[in-house]
Amino acid sequence: MTPAAKLSLGCIADDYTGASDLANTLTRAGLRTVQTIGVPPDDLALPEVDAVVVSLKSRSIEARLAVTRSRAAEKWLRSRGAAHILFKICSTFDSTDAGNIGPVMDALRADSGDAMVLVTPAFPETGRTVYQGNLFVGSVPLNESPLKDHPLNPMHDSNLVRVLARQSGTKVGLVDLASLTRGAGAVRARLAELSAKGIGAAVIDAVFDRDLEIIGQVALDHRLSVGASGIGLGLARALVASGRVKREALGARTDAAIGGPAACLAGSCSQATLQQIASAEAVMPVLHLDPERAIAGQDEAQRALAWAKDRVGDGPVLIASSSTPDEVAALQSRHGRDAAGHAIEQAMADIAEGLVQSGVRRLVVAGGETSGAVVDRLRIPGFLVGAEIAAGVPVLRAVGIKNGEMLLALKSGNFGGPQFFSDALNLMR
Ligand SMILES: Nc1ncnc2c1ncn2[C@@H]1O[C@H](COP(=O)(O)OP(=O)(O)OP(=O)(O)O)[C@@H](O)[C@H]1O
Ligand SMILES: O=C(O)[C@@H](O)C(=O)CO
């Protein structure tokens, strides 16, 4: 990116798959977008863009650290001229009562000087809608969805006003769908009412993309918003509609093939990923790691690499640590949740590193934390967005890596259809 280019939108994502989901949404809405891993170093050559999504791995770390890292990203984005910053969280509001959405929002709100922050994880394209402040995943409330069994942050309350209030020092209110359907003026009036009561964060209902377009218009009055790809869509469409950004035609970027061996890694234990692994068994060799051995040391990663070496020359392979909720719970009770998760992530990173050393240039990774560990280990500084594999999951072309080119797909645990792994590989030529 040239130093003179001014960003129309700055984004801070709390995990890497979420960042690529948002970068995909912004690209499809016509914004020239790049995804960086962390705050980019000054010598990273990036094209001229309208939006930068800085990817952090801050969803499941200590709140204090998440705040510090988010603030550093904010400072960089503001210094590049971003008038509005979107803090990208998960569309299933993944967090615990200790944070990190509330603490990061509070800090960025203080920095922005905004009296009011709009918050919505709605992303209708993937079935995430918010009504009366309650988040629905498909047809069920969040607390009845598979997110109740998430390995790191099980979600047991679907009322986001309550969830956010427990994490935040800011008073939280609601803008309901009835206000929203009366248009941007009604939303602004409702926000003024909330503000007069000392409320500084408003969870906003949204069920359809048209709701997000209204939210996007209103959000641009402010310097900060918090939400998932849906609010990204609203902001991007509002930027284009207001003439602040000239819509970029899709396909303006090269999708040149890379070829070479391909592999998939799955560390997500979501229902969607478990089903995708089961479907992949029919079309490619699949190795199920022994999670107990992966925690014990590096032998399991070495075993996986030896297994892959014998097969990857003949076609794609899949290596998965994923287990069912009962098995995950049993493992966590033996080793602790964070220790088990971290050790398995590191085993996945070891495997990714070994695969790339042996020539793999096309890599599909399932799971946000898993993707974070893998991308960090591969020292990839950023990505350009390519074709869309499934809602929220684009093909990514690595930029700034030392050894040639690489294509990746970073899949959020819950995203993608049953054949996701083959769908991804079909587009990653
Ligand atoms: N068999 C297993 N038992 C316990 N934990 C596991 C197992 N396999 C993977 N894990 C851990 O579970 C966590 C899965 O988180 P990850 O973010 O990768 O997936 P996800 O939460 O489904 O995806 P997303 O964050 O994109 O929704 C990681 O910390 C991973 O190491
Ligand atoms: O918003 C989502 O659901 C995803 O982009 C994500 O962040 C999952 O990790």
In the chain the first and final C-alpha atoms are separated, in Å, by: 27
Q: Is the CB of 345 under 6 A from ligand 1?
A: yes
What would the two tokens of residue 386 be? 């390519």
The protein residue whose alpha carbon is closest to atom 5 in ligand 2 is 18
Query: Residue 268: nearest ligand to its CA?
Result: 1
| b/e burial code for range 290-328 (CB count within 10 A of at least 16 → b) | ebeebbeeeebbebbbebbeeebeeebbbbbbbbebeeb
Contact 203, 120 (CB under 8 A): yes
Averaged pLDDT for residues 80-103: 95
3-state secondary structure of 300: helix
3-state secondary structure of 144: helix
Question: pLDDT tens digits, residue range 20-76?
Answer: 999 999 999 999 999 999 998 877 777 889 999 999 999 989 999 999 999 999 999
Domains and CATH numbers, the chain: 9-241 (3.40.50.10840), 262-427 (3.40.980.20)
Strand 262-266 with 172-175, pairing: unpaired
13 alpha carbon – ligand 2 mean position (Å): 9
Q: What pLDDT band is residue 4 in, cutting at 50, 70 and 90?
A: very low
In this predicted structure, the answer to whether residue 331 has a pLDDT above a threshold of 60 is: yes
20 alpha carbon – ligand 2 mean position (Å): 9
Give the Cα-Cα-Cα angle 337, 338, 339 (nearest 5 degrees): 95
Q: What pLDDT band is residue 1 in, cutting at 50, 70 and 90?
A: very low
In this predicted structure, the answer to whether residue 402 has a pLDDT above a threshold of 80 is: no
pLDDT at 253: 58
Number of neighbours of residue 103 by Cβ within 10 angstroms: 20
3-state secondary structure of 56: coil
Q: Which residues line ligand 2 (CB under 6 A)?
A: 15, 17-18, 21, 90-92, 123, 228-229, 368, 392, 412
* CA distances (Å), origin 37, targets 31, 64, 263, 372: 19, 20, 21, 9
Q: Is the CB of 322 under 6 A from ligand 1?
A: yes
C-alpha to C-alpha distance for 393 and 17, rounded to whole angstroms: 8
In this predicted structure, the answer to whether residue 317 has a pLDDT above a threshold of 80 is: yes
Q: Nearest 10 degrees: CA dihedral of 51, 57, 63, 68?
A: -60
H-type alpha helices, 113-259: 160-167, 177-180, 184-196, 209-219, 229-241
Contact 139, 131 (CB under 8 A): no
E-strand ranges in 185-344 read: 201-204, 224-227, 262-266, 286-288, 317-320
The protein residue whose alpha carbon is closest to atom 8 in ligand 2 is 412
Contact 125, 211 (CB under 8 A): no
Helix, strand counts (H, E) of the chain: 15, 18
pLDDT: which is higher, 379 or 252: 379
The atom of ligand 1 lying closest to the CA of 321 is: 8
Q: What pLDDT band is residue 206 in, cutting at 50, 70 and 90?
A: very high
319 alpha carbon – ligand 2 mean position (Å): 22
Contact 211, 122 (CB under 8 A): yes
Question: pLDDT tens digits, residue range 209-240?
Answer: 999 999 999 999 999 999 999 999 999 999 99
The protein residue whose alpha carbon is closest to atom 30 in ligand 1 is 341
Question: pLDDT tens digits, residue range 266-290?
Answer: 999 999 999 999 999 999 999 999 9
pLDDT at 95: 94
- Give the residue, out of 25, 35, 88, 90, with the most ligand 2 atoms within 8 A of its beta carbon, to mutate for a pocket test: 90
210 alpha carbon – ligand 1 mean position (Å): 33
- Which of these, 57, 87, 64, 274, lies nearest to 152 by C-alpha position? 57
What would the two tokens of residue 417 be? 């259809």
* CA distances (Å), origin 39, targets 13, 34, 192, 280: 11, 12, 35, 35
Which phi and psi angles does 16 have, rounded to 5°? Answer: -75, -35
357 alpha carbon – ligand 2 mean position (Å): 29
In this predicted structure, the answer to whether residue 169 has a pLDDT above a threshold of 90 is: yes
The atom of ligand 1 lying closest to the CA of 270 is: 22
Q: Is the CB of 414 under 6 A from ligand 1?
A: yes
